[in-house]
A and B are shown apart, each in its own frame.
Chain A
Amino acid sequence: MSVTSELERGTGSPDVATGIVDCDVHPLLKQGFASLYPYMPLAWRERFERKRAGQAAAGLIMRFAHPNGFIVREDASPRDGEFAGSDPHFLVSDLLDANDIGICALNSLQTGAMCAVLASADESLIIASAANDYYIEEWLPIDRRLRYAIVVPSQDPNASASEIRRVGKHSQICAVAVPPIAIALGNRYWWPIYEAAQELDLPIFLHVTGAEGIYAGAPMPAGGLPDTYIERYVTLSQAAEANLTSLIMNGIFERFPRLRVLFVEYGFVWPLPAMLRMDRLWRGLRHEVPWVKKSPIEYVAEHVWFTTQPIEEPADPRDLERIVKMIGVDNLCFSTDYPHWDNDMPMQSLRMLAPADRDKIMRQNARNVLRLS
């Protein structure tokens, strides 16, 4: 069977073993929502078709303001009229081959947003399963370097856990992408997902859905509803900070001692003030959360990773080196965010670091935390 031979060809490739690991790559469905129809039970497919779900799926666009009109890069389009990220063969040559990337984690924001933002709870279960089957069948057999983060319907944690157990054993599944809703990650609501993720030794990806600050029930930045896209983008890390604090103070890493969490596309400067403040306040307020048995900074070191993009650009780039050391060289994983316009490409990224530190961030840490081989 062609799938097997493709996989065998990929296995043992030096690129897989030694190349850069890109922890955040965004594929798109080739035909939009309609791509999922072949992977749905007939009754659900008919229901979505009747309500023109394919058109509704673009409903968030009015709230965005991208410099070139759309989130994906024009220059990464496979062919005229096709969206960047919609063709796996093109993505392999344009991103992986061209940039010495040995493994990339496909993180389907598009379908995550469909689940968390655009659908009812029942519909989100159908969408998540269809999306996972679509990528497993249409993308993963193409190249062993492609890995995939399972999309789960965060509106239903028990159904999410079932979905993790249904597809999580596939050798190219590398993580569980939990589309954030306005329930902090330390809340017991999420326990079924953590239990399943820990059982399958898969880390959790937390990544924005694009709906932050847009509707009641979406994760909300502090201070009130922002008006513009730039305000929302700047304040995205507030939700990450709130979720990191929530995970630690609710003892999630004591309750699920093998759980690993990656904050994806929040950058890596924001954790620093949160870590320092958590550590300081824990010394005086730990009696409120005695299940936090050690400094919050130690939980971060053992259980939490941050992907690097978007890398901030201080006037003196060496300032970043100090921040990298304070966050922890072992806790950062490189990511491009391809094919989005606000990407970081490997050649230009983190060049101020010592080669050994850069190598950990570009290649080694992600192999460890995502258990890549």
Chain B
Amino acid sequence: MAIPEREEILVGDAAELVEGKFKIIKQGTLNIGVTRLRDGTIRAVRNRCPHKGAAICKGIIGGTWPPSAPGDLAYDREGEILVCPWHGFEYDLKTGDELYRKVPTRLRFYEVIERERKIYLLVARGAADTQDSDASAA
């Protein structure tokens, strides 16, 4: 039997995950926020802002005021945008990209699976034991 390259970490019951809020999973050096997006997608995000390292999963999940004509104000994408609690950089929870930036910084996403109404993170085997394990991937 082949040794799996990844291991599963239990997040909890699928029903626990609600829109607009992260459940934080800490295991070893891993620190990951898991939430449910409006369309039902489960999103797991490294709890570290690519800008200056804030615990970004404590930020606001909301919408954004997209580029608009001078004097006009629009509002869009409620529930899909994460704002860092420190400097306010906006990140797209669909793609991980910093918004409106030509060369965006990116959130680190993790894969999740749902099995028997429970949610699991899929991380590289041993990732939780390694200091700053996913820095290069982020």
A286 touches B100 (CB 8 A): yes
In the assembled complex, B74 has its CB within 8 A of some CB on chain A: yes
Point out the residue from A250, A255, A284, A291 that lies within 8 Å of B88, measured CB to CB: A284
Inside 8 A of A356's CB, which chain B residues have their CB? none
A291 touches B87 (CB 8 A): no
Contact digits for A305-346, partner B, Cβ 8 Å, 1 yes 0 no? 000000000000000000000000000000000000000000
How many whole Å from A287's CB to the nearest CB in chain B?
5
In the assembled complex, A283 has its CB within 8 A of some CB on chain B: yes
Q: Is the interface of A mostly helix, strand, loop or mixed?
A: helix
B68 touches A291 (CB 8 A): yes
Closest to B68 in A: A290
Inside 8 A of A286's CB, which chain B residues have their CB? 90, 100
Inside 8 A of A250's CB, which chain B residues have their CB? 70
Question: Which residues of B46-102 have CB atoms within 8 Å of chain A's CB atoms?
Answer: 51, 64-74, 84, 87-90, 98, 100-102
A254 touches B70 (CB 8 A): yes
Report the separation of the CA atoms of residues A285 and B100 in the bound assembly, to the nearest whole angstrom.
Answer: 12
A290 touches B67 (CB 8 A): yes
With contact pairs A290-B73, A291-B71 given, residues A283 and B64 touching in the complex (Cβ less than 8 Å): no
Inside 8 A of B67's CB, which chain A residues have their CB? 290-291, 293
Inside 8 A of B65's CB, which chain A residues have their CB? 287, 290
Inside 8 A of A284's CB, which chain B residues have their CB? 84, 87-89
With contact pairs A250-B70, A285-B88 given, residues A293 and B64 touching in the complex (Cβ less than 8 Å): no
Inside 8 A of A252's CB, which chain B residues have their CB? 70
Report the separation of the CA atoms of residues A293 and B64 in the bound assembly, to the nearest whole angstrom.
Answer: 13
Inside 8 A of B69's CB, which chain A residues have their CB? 251, 254, 291
B101 touches A290 (CB 8 A): no
Point out the residue from A251, A255, A293 that lies within 8 Å of B100, measured CB to CB: A293
How many whole Å from A356's CB to the nearest CB in chain B?
26
B72 touches A287 (CB 8 A): no
A294 touches B64 (CB 8 A): no
A291 touches B70 (CB 8 A): yes
Question: Which residues of A243-266 have CB atoms within 8 Å of chain B's CB atoms?
Answer: 250-252, 254-255
Report the separation of the CA atoms of residues A298 and B101 in the bound assembly, to the nearest whole angstrom.
Answer: 11
In the assembled complex, A295 has its CB within 8 A of some CB on chain B: yes
**Chain A interface category by residue count:** 10 to 19
How many whole Å from A254's CB to the nearest CB in chain B?
5
Point out the residue from A251, A280, A295 that lies within 8 Å of B102, measured CB to CB: A295
Closest to A252 in B: B70
Report the separation of the CA atoms of residues A295 and B74 in the bound assembly, to the nearest whole angstrom.
Answer: 19
Closest to A286 in B: B100
Report which residue of A280, A286, A295 has the largest number of chain B beta carbons within 10 angstroms of its beta carbon. A286
Inside 8 A of A283's CB, which chain B residues have their CB? 51, 87-90, 98, 101
How many whole Å from B10's CB to the nearest CB in chain A?
35
Closest to B100 in A: A286
With contact pairs A251-B70, A255-B70 given, residues A294 and B102 touching in the complex (Cβ less than 8 Å): yes
How many whole Å from A13's CB to the nearest CB in chain B?
43
Report the separation of the CA atoms of residues A252 and B65 in the bound assembly, to the nearest whole angstrom.
Answer: 19
Inside 8 A of A251's CB, which chain B residues have their CB? 69-71
How many whole Å from B70's CB to the nearest CB in chain A?
3
Contact digits for A294-305, partner B, Cβ 8 Å, 1 yes 0 no? 110010000000
How many whole Å from B26's CB to the nearest CB in chain A?
27
Contact digits for B10-28, partner A, Cβ 8 Å, 1 yes 0 no? 0000000000000000000
Report the separation of the CA atoms of residues A254 and B102 in the bound assembly, to the nearest whole angstrom.
Answer: 18
Report the separation of the CA atoms of residues A285 and B65 in the bound assembly, to the nearest whole angstrom.
Answer: 11
Q: Which 4 A-B pairs have the closest CB atoms?
A: A284-B88, A251-B70, A293-B67, A291-B70
18 A-B pairs besides A283-B89, A284-B88 with CB distance below 8 A are A251-B69, A254-B69, A254-B70, A255-B70, A283-B88, A283-B90, A284-B87, A285-B88, A286-B90, A287-B64, A287-B65, A290-B66, A291-B67, A291-B68, A291-B70, A291-B72, A293-B100, A298-B102
Would you mind naming 14 contact pairs between A and B with Cβ atoms under 8 Å apart? A254-B70, A283-B51, A283-B87, A283-B101, A284-B88, A284-B89, A285-B88, A287-B64, A287-B88, A290-B67, A291-B68, A291-B69, A293-B100, A295-B102
Residues of A within 8 A of B (CB): 250-252, 254-255, 280, 283-287, 290-291, 293-295, 298
